[in-house]
A and B are shown apart, each in its own frame.
Chain A
Amino acid sequence: MTATETTDTTLRTVTLNVNGQTIRQEVESRTLLAYALRDAGLKGTHVGCDTSSCGCCVVLLDGDTPAKSCTMFAVQAEGHQITTVEGLGSPGDLHPLQQAFWDQHGLQCGYCTPGMLMTAKAMLEHNPDPTDQEVREFLSGNLCRCTGYNNIVKAVQQAARVMRDEAQAQALAGMVPSTPEGGAQ
């Protein structure tokens, strides 16, 4: 038997919706989503293992579902909205989670960071006010070799506070009708 007999290496075009942009890419059926994203230049998504253990490759599907993109084929991602770390924020416009990881020294080599941020984002979508233990449990699919996790937990809690405050401010703003003179303060 040869590889060509056992493996369908036919290229097909996959259309991925990533960070609000449409990416069309030639992939094999067996191409993993992590590699498809990286080949498209979105290299923030990392690969750290071959047993779906480390979570360096976590991206979000449809806004709030974390997925290890090394454990999905690119073709399976078609029809989903994918968010990668590049869609979270940029150096001049950091997401509260990115800012909190910076403030709390929640990263060192930076290799786990993109996956860690995406999982944390998913958690805060589901649980905006987690306990430390809840943070640790939700992040347990993301390995880190540098930080020992303490500062990551602190960072997620800081981001949760900021995001709760922002949500509250938005909710309050919504209660006051804006006026042509300058709106609610």
Chain B
Amino acid sequence: MSIETDATNNAGPQTLTMGKGMKRKEDPRFLTGNGNYVDDMRLPGMLYMAIVHSPYPHANIKGIDKEAALAVPGVKAVITGEDLVAASLAWLPTFHGFDKQMVLAVGKVLFQHQEVAAVFAETREAARDAAELVDVDYEPLDPVISPFDSMKDEVILRDDREDKTNHIYHWDSGDKDGTQAALDDSEVVVTERIYAPRCHPAPLEPCGCVAQFDAMGRLHFWVTSQAPHVYRTAISLVTGIPEDKIRVISPDIGGGFGNKVPVYPGYVCAIVGALILKTPVKWIETRTENLTTTGFARDYHMDVTIGAKKDGTVTALKVKTVADHGAFDAAADPSKYPAGMFGVVTGSYQFPVAFAELDAYFTNKAPGGVAYRCSFRVTEASYAIERGMDILAQKLTMDPAELRRKNFVRKDQFPYDSALGFTYDSGDYEGTMDKALNQIGYADLRREQAEKRARGEYMGIGISTFTEVVGAGPSKHFDILGIKMFDSAEIRIHPTGTGIIRTGTKSQGQGHETTWAQIVAEELGLDPQNLLVEEGDTDTAPYGLGTYASRSTPVAGAALALAARRVREKARKVAAHLLEAAPEDIEWVEHKFQVMGAPSRSVTMKEVAFAAYTNPGEGVEPGLEASLYYDPPNMTFPHGAYIAVVDVDAETGEVKVRRFLAIDDCGTVINPMIVEGQVHGGLTEGFAIAFMQEIPYDEQGNNMAPNFMEYLIPTSVEAPVWETGSTVTPSPHHPIGAKGVGESPNVGSPAAFVNAVMDALAPLGVTHIDMPLTREKVWRAIRDAQAAAASD
């Protein structure tokens, strides 16, 4: 991807940057320590809150003694679940509405590190001291750790629920009988249990908030939220405070990655503390609290079965999944989609028939599931099908690229109705894969691999040709808490031709302050440097559903373009007045209004903006602004072709990623520099997930990766050098043809890494190893395969 940076400040169309690598407007403050993150907030009289966590995964609470904690100098209050019961705040509804989550434990704890009490003190140190002195009397109970044990219902975890079962829900999609019949008739059938392990998005900035009630009784709530407007509504519903009396502000956020979508107990406790103590309260969690209590990702056990003809033509797909949701079902999904977009599991291929089903269970673990660039479970779906296709290729001894080519949805078949009910908007899968194969020199790599195999060396090439589904979503299908998943934009142009743009999304580093200005600048012929972008303040920004699941560009990006066109239509009337012509005779050419057939008679948007306030013309409303709420007609379906090349050391199990190429197609590109940065970051997450990250629990229910000593984040040394590129297949239904892309690299890359390692080990007969592919796991698989071969 070649990148052209352009940060000139000259007004006028020549500075338009749509499609160019305009440098980011947000950077100067971040580079100089002038960002404004939640923990930077300081208010007079502000108290600090610390949370008491359960050491047990499952235990009755027989009593809580606050006395020693309250005796610590500076401590103002200690609240427990019983205190919240009295205020009807002990439980928190989860976003999809199937379940609720304890704020502070009532009666019993259901996962290790669960929130049990909250302490308020004048200093953060005093709050922590006191939290250690809250004396909780626990009666340990048998924990349920595996969802496969949970489904036996021998120990019922949630006696607060009507149904006395650990089963949360069953979901399915597709033609069950038809799929089974097709599999029975298939010449070749492969099946594998594929586990997407529990991991965690771990944004560098943990979650936190500051709650303040002002003298008018109005709640001001600064919070690490990817969806501040939904938070405002949720807080209103939970606390009964009217929505106009709540101002939620998401300031600069130090990364989200889906971790900052759910409402967490700490937020509710801070609001309660600020209310009862009548002074501001700050809560900033530690890294350990972040990893042990906030939204995890994945934890899907997927039985993947693919039927095919001997020539490799796929005939049917069946996927049966067991999902581990932890103690409460707080998975942040649209309400009609308990398993998210898992139905996209047929991937980029023409499956004539398919069936996917999923059962979710409670366990004694932290809640979550949907997070970490997953696009609502697309990471799991993509991993399942891309692994499955490679297992099929191995069984058929067919080149994995050729197996994919044979089965791709063809360019001329879009819009394509998948067997599980999605209508893919556009794609050129073969073109994108061919670009990747050529760019990486696939044929040469296969030759090199053959030579190395002959020498007993293990080199692997892994391909992942995935289809994403992002931009939730059409109001017919998608809502959070009942609120339809539209998004919004307001554009106000000032008399001097500068302007302010606000959307209902919320950047956590994805560069909206820059790219939103680029979209509007292109539509209006104004200077992007002088279009201020704001998000996150619910008093000022239009209502939106927030930023997650790569929905910002598909939904708010569309709202921005269309709102800008409304501004332009209004401006056309003013231009007509200035040019003394009828509005229908005014055309928008090269970012200027001109009289049709008379190009010398033209005005710029800047001139029109001034006139809109000084001389708008008879009967034209003064001012120049518009707002728009966009209900998308469909999702966008970006795709990509990723190729990993690895070398495996059979003596140690060490995997070295020699090369990684990612070709992404997200339709029209707003800012290639920012897209490339998104891809680099997401690939690094995918690399971490493939090789090092897991939140395992031991048999006693202890979280075994509660901090950065155990839960590994790649450093600059481990992270591979990324090669990137793009093809452009615009979304036909999107106003500027753009698709989301932020999560594609995480959705697409884990399978490429694992496929590469399995390809390397194919001569040993190794078919599948579950992530993370740690050195030890790879070494054991090699050793076991060699032992099996020796005993034959």
What is the interface of chain A, defined by CB distance below 8 A to chain B?
2-4, 7, 9, 28, 30-31, 35, 38, 42-51, 53-54, 56, 84-86, 88-91, 94, 98, 101-103, 105, 107-114, 117, 135-137, 139-153
Contacts and interface: CB of A to CB of B under 8 A. Distances in A.
Contacts of A90: 32
Given A103-B5, A145-B255, A48 B204 contact: yes
A110 B511 CA distance: 11
Contact of B717 (A88, A89, A140, A144): A140
Interface string B120-137: 000011100110110000
A98 B684 CA distance: 23
B44 interface: no
Interface stretch (B97-105, B304-312, B413-421, B675-683): B675-683
Given A7-B129, A112-B204, A46 B684 contact: no
Interface string B65-94: 000100111000000000000000000000
Interface in B719-734: 719, 721-722
B33 A109 contact: no
Contacts of B717: 136-137, 140
B24 interface: yes
B254 A150 contact: no
Given A146-B677, A147-B680, A3 B129 contact: yes
Contact of A140 (B132, B257, B715): B715
30 contacts: A2-B68, A30-B125, A43-B37, A43-B39, A44-B33, A49-B287, A51-B707, A54-B204, A94-B32, A105-B24, A105-B674, A105-B676, A105-B677, A109-B205, A110-B35, A111-B37, A111-B254, A114-B33, A137-B716, A139-B716, A140-B716, A145-B257, A146-B509, A148-B680, A148-B684, A148-B719, A148-B722, A149-B680, A149-B719, A153-B716
A136 B716 CA distance: 5
Contact of A51 (B130, B287, B510): B287
Contacts of B673: 105
B225 to A, nearest CB: 14
Contacts of B676: 105
A2 B135 CA distance: 12
A87 B510 CA distance: 27
B132 A94 contact: no
B709 A135 contact: no
A91 B26 CA distance: 11
Nearest to A35: B124
Interface string B355-398: 00000000000000000000000000000000000000000000
Given A136-B717, A152-B716, A4 B30 contact: no
B707 A50 contact: yes
A107 B71 contact: no
B716 A111 contact: no
Contacts of A89: 31-32
Interface in B651-690: 673-674, 676-685
A31 to B, nearest CB: 7
B626 to A, nearest CB: 30
Main secondary structure of the interface of A (DSSP, over half): loop
B34 interface: yes
Nearest to A139: B716
Contacts of B783: none
A112 B509 CA distance: 11
The range of chain B's interface size is 35 or more
B204 A111 contact: yes
Interface string B492-517: 00000000000000001111000000
A148 B253 contact: no
Contacts of A2: 68, 71-72, 133
Given A89-B32, A105-B677, A50 B287 contact: yes
A94, A103, A108 — most chain B CB neighbours (10 Å): A108
A79 B83 CA distance: 48
Given A46-B205, A111-B509, A145-B685, 17 more contacts: A9-B126, A43-B33, A49-B707, A51-B287, A54-B204, A85-B32, A109-B508, A110-B31, A135-B716, A136-B715, A136-B716, A144-B204, A146-B509, A146-B681, A148-B719, A149-B719, A151-B680
Contacts of B678: 108
Nearest to B684: A148
A40 B113 CA distance: 32
A21 to B, nearest CB: 14
A48 B205 contact: yes
A15 to B, nearest CB: 21
B252 A110 contact: yes
Contacts of A54: 204, 287, 708, 713
B27 interface: yes
Q: Which 5 A-B residue pairs are closest in the complex by CB-CB distance?
A: A44-B33, A110-B30, A109-B509, A111-B254, A148-B680
Contacts of A91: 28-29, 31-32, 34
A145 B202 contact: yes
B677 A143 contact: no
Interface in B201-247: 202-206
Given A98-B32, A145-B713, A3 B72 contact: yes
A183 B23 CA distance: 37
Given A147-B677, A148-B719, A108 B708 contact: no
Contact of A107 (B21, B27, B40, B679): B27
B707 A94 contact: no
B31, B133, B287, B678 — most chain A CB neighbours (10 Å): B31
Nearest to A117: B31
Nearest to B718: A140
Contacts of B510: 108
Contacts of B33: 42-45, 84-86, 114
Nearest to B131: A3
A45 to B, nearest CB: 7
B288 interface: yes
